[in-house]
Structures are given as C-alpha cells and as structure tokens.
Structure 1
Amino acid sequence: MISVGIDISKEKITVCALEQGSKIIWKPFDVYLNKSKVEELLEKLEKVKEEIKITMEATGKYHLPILYELKDRGYFVSVINPLKMKQFCRALNFRKAKNDKIDAKQIAEYGLMYWKELEEYKVDEENYRVLKELNRSYQHYMDLRIDQMNYIDQTIHQTFPCIKKLIPHNSGDFSKDKLLDFLEKWWHKDLVLEKTEEEFIEEYKRWAKEKRYHPNANKAKTIYKLAKDSISTQPSHNSKIETNIREGINLIK
C-alpha cells in the first residue's frame, strides 16, 4: 500500500509517497498547478501498481483543483481537517521544523497510520457545488450590507439623532428602504429646519407621494419636532460628511 501526502499551497502542491514502515517511495517534490505539471503527476501515479490512498488537508478552495483532477481519475482521496492533522503531528512531536516538504511527509504518515479509517472524499454534483458557491456569495454580500447599514446608522446618529426611531429600515423588502430614501434628501436635521414647519410638511408629503410612501402629515410634524429638539455633533455644511452618507446609501442600494 502506498500513502501519498499532498501539502497544498496557493500556486503549487508538494507531494510525498510512503509505503508501509514509512519507507519513502517519492521524496517530497513540488508540482505547480498548471495542466502540464499536473498531468506529469497523474502519469507518475498511474505507474504505481500497488493500492494508493491520497491524503490532503482542507484549505478553503486551494485544494479543489488537484482534488477534482484526482477524483476524475478515480483515485481514493481523503481530505482531512487541518486541526486534526495538526493534533496528529503534535502527538508524534513532528513539527519541530516546518516547510512544505516536511508537511507533505507528515500528511503521508497520517495516511499510513489511519489507512483503514480514512474516509474517501465524495465529490458533490455540479448543481450542488454551484448552490454552495452561490450561498457563500450571498453570505458575503449580506455581511457587507449589514456592516454598511451599521455604519450609516452610526453616522446619522451624529447628524440626525433618533431619526431611526421614527423611520425604521425596511427589514423584509431590500428593494425599498424608507429611512435610506429619507436620508438621501434630509441627511442632516438642519436640512429640515431650513423651512418652516408648514413648508416641511408639504415638502415631506410631496416626497412621500413621489416615493410611494404614505404622505402622513402627522409623521412630518413629529420629524420636524425631532429636528428642533435633537443635538447633532456633525455640521450640515461639511460636504465630506454629506458625500460619505450618500455614497454609503448608494453602496447599500
């Protein structure tokens, strides 16, 4: 039986092969991740007549190209949690030094020691792989959106304190957000107070109709009162603050 250990890097892999008794069959060598070099490795594997099991660590996405190539050729490949591998090496007191070649040999040692317990990696069907990638993208963009929303909320606390209590964010429908729409026009309380209460009420009602919100005069009165009573800590004449808020809103939308 031949245990092949593969250490994964961003642009290359390091391969080592051991047989029973930890006898080295292939000294650790590097394979750069391009078609010609990977093909040379596959040809080298095909020449081995004994049973082969290949072990590698999970490394986010870097291990996927060589993993899929090996699985396409029908090889037994086991993908190990890096923490489990680290614990294995510590138990054997291996990691006094560390480099790719040492790591590849240690991974091959792991394959020998747990030969019978190794679990073969099952490649997901294409649709499932696409769904997983889309889910990762969704989570990524949702995290960005939440961070940006929090940033906007912190900023408007300095320009229009407590406005969020009167006009909350829409939680369910991402296509419209009343607070963000409101802030695009009145990002600072002073912009409300530039007009008389009656003038602001009429302007608010026109804005609400245009944006397809309820043109509530009482809501406008409450907003005007809040603007008069609140204390801002950022000036309304600073174009940098205004640009910061407007660009932040554009990013969210």
Structure 2
Amino acid sequence: MKYKVFIGIDVSKLTIDVHLHGIGASKTFSNEEKGFALFLSWVKSIVNNQPAEMIICFEHTGMYSIKLATYLNDIGIPFAMLPALQIKQSIGIRRGKNDQIDAQRIAEYAWLHRETIQATLLPAKSILKLQSLLTLRNRLVCDRGGMKPHGKNRKRHWKEKSTRDISSL
C-alpha cells in the first residue's frame, strides 16, 4: 500500500509524543484511550487524508505500546510496531535525545522505508492475553530463582544464636 501520511510516535509509560512527517507538527497526548482519541482528532484536523492512507509507526515497547496498538487495530487504522534496535541502527549515531526528537526520527524512518514498511497485524485478543500472562510468569520465575540463594543464606544465618530471636518472626 502506498501511504501518504507518516506519523511517528514515541511511546512512554504515561504519554505518547506524536510527530507528523513533512508537516513538522508535534504534540503530546496521554497514553490511554482518551489520549488516543484526541491524537486522532488532532491528526484529522491537520491532514485531510483517509485513515487507510496513513501509517502510524512506533517502537514495540511491550506493555506501554500494546494499548495503542490494540486501540488502532480495533478502529482499523494501519500501524507498524517496529523493533527499537532496527530504528536505532538505521538512523545511525545522532546527538540529542528526547521524546519529541524520538517521535520525529520514527516518522522519518517510516518515510524513508515507505516502499517496504508493512502494517502490523495483531494476534487475537486471547493470544495477546496469553502472551502477557507468559511474560508475567517468566518474570516471577526469574524473581523466585533470584530469591532462592538468599533464602538458604538467611536460614543458615538465623540458626546462629545471635539471630535466633529474629527467625521466629
């Protein structure tokens, strides 16, 4: 598909920073559904293109970007979730870094790769939920593995006479 509008978004925990390539417009919105709706109405006020003629690009940041991806998927607007390393390597070393600059660079990346960029297709919501649960499980397993050695040392330490009173707590 030939896209005409290239939008770069830097996704953070609380906000999304948006940049429209070629127009030079940038703005920040909240990283929640209300902010997404405001973002789309802002884009429509600037650009008169149909949603199918625009591509929204952002880095895949896990749980912070999945909300935006799900929202865009549900309303049928094409988007591309890109690996951060891919964008970083294509741009090269540059000075200066903040969320607005990152959004601008993502939009620039999308424009430069306009012939090959493809919209992301999200899996079914049940698969997304399973992926989220597996990620949580992996974190818990790692945390538990990190705590096991400390537990053995604590038991050994509490057997000493000077700390026996603490071990009864």
Common fold by TM > 0.5: yes
1:75 maps to which residue? 77
The higher radius of gyration belongs to 1
Higher relative contact order (CA 8 A, sep 6+): 2
* Alignment partner of 1:52 out of 31, 51, 54: 54
C-alpha separation in 2, matches of 1:45 and 1:237: 64
* Alignment partner of 1:3 out of 3, 6, 13: 6
Q: Which runs of 4+ in 1 moved over 6 A?
A: none
Cα drift, residue 26 of structure 1 = 4.5
1:152 maps to which residue? 151
What is the alpha-carbon root mean square deviation over aligned residues?
2.3
Cα drift, residue 33 of structure 1 = 2.8
2:113 maps to which residue? 114
Q: CA, structure 1 residues 32+239, in 2 after alignment: closer, same or farther (shift >3 Å)?
A: same
2:19 maps to which residue? 16
C-alpha separation in 2, matches of 1:72 and 1:42: 14
Asked whether 1:239 is paired with 2:165, we answer yes
C-alpha separation in 1, matches of 2:16 and 2:66: 11
Cα drift, residue 60 of structure 1 = 2.4
Say which SS state the counterpart of residue 49 (structure 2) adopts: coil
C-alpha separation in 2, matches of 1:237 and 1:17: 63
Aligned residues: 162
Cα drift, residue 5 of structure 1 = 0.6
Q: Which is worse superposed, 48-57 or 105-114? A: 48-57
1:174-200 CA-partner distances (Å, limit 9, x unpaired): xxxxxxxxxxxxx84xxxxxxxxxxxx
TM-score normalised by length of structure 2:
0.82
**Which consecutive residues of structure 1, in runs of 5 or more, have no partner in the other structure?**
19-23, 160-186, 189-233, 248-253
2:100 maps to which residue? 101
Cα drift, residue 34 of structure 1 = 4.3
Say which SS state the counterpart of residue 76 (structure 2) adopts: coil
1:193 maps to which residue? none
C-alpha separation in 1, matches of 2:36 and 2:13: 14
**Which consecutive residues of structure 2, in runs of 5 or more, have no partner in the other structure?**
none
1:211-233 CA-partner distances (Å, limit 9, x unpaired): xxxxxxxxxxxxxxxxxxxxxxx
Cα drift, residue 67 of structure 1 = 1.8
Q: Percent of aligned positions with the same letter in both sequences?
A: 23
Cα drift, residue 237 of structure 1 = 6.1
2:27 maps to which residue? 29
1:38 maps to which residue? 36
Task: Tell me if the contact between 2:32 and 2:68 (Cα under 8 Å) persists in the aligned partners.
Answer: no
Cα drift, residue 100 of structure 1 = 1.6
Amino acid aligned to 1:138: R
Task: Tell me if the contact between 2:11 and 2:31 (Cα under 8 Å) persists in the aligned partners.
Answer: no
TM-score normalised by length of structure 1:
0.57
Cα drift, residue 43 of structure 1 = 2.4
